[in-house]
């Protein structure tokens, strides 16, 4: 969320990369994080929090998960 706010504040109006990131919505990291979180915890609140953390949560999950 902080990244989106700082990108909006500091973005140059001619820079199409920053506006594309904000306009397209949820990213791949967020989708993966929400899916992993929901399958483990079955909690909407945790899924939202992990979706915000996105790739940080995905990397954390990959590092600490137990082999099934």
Q: How far apart are CA 58 and CA 61, in angstroms?
A: 5
Q: Which sequence spans correspond to the domains of the chain?
A: 2-64
Write down how long the chain is. 68
Q: How far apart are CA 10 and CA 7, in angstroms?
A: 5
pLDDT > 60? residue 41: yes
Q: What is the mean pLDDT of residues 48-59?
A: 93
pLDDT > 90? residue 43: yes
Q: What is the mean pLDDT of residues 30-52?
A: 94
% of the chain with per-residue pLDDT over 70: 60
pLDDT > 90? residue 24: no
Which range (8-12, 26-30, 54-58) has the least confidence? 8-12
């Amino acid at each position: 969320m902080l990244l989106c706010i700082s990108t909006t504040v500091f973005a140059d109006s001619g820079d199409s990369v920053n506006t594309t990131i904000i306009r397209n919505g949820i990213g791949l990291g967020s989708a993966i994080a929400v899916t992993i979180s929901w399958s483990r915890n079955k909690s909407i609140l945790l899924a939202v929090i992990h979706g915000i953390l996105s790739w940080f949560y995905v990397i954390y999950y990959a590092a600490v998960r137990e082999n099934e």
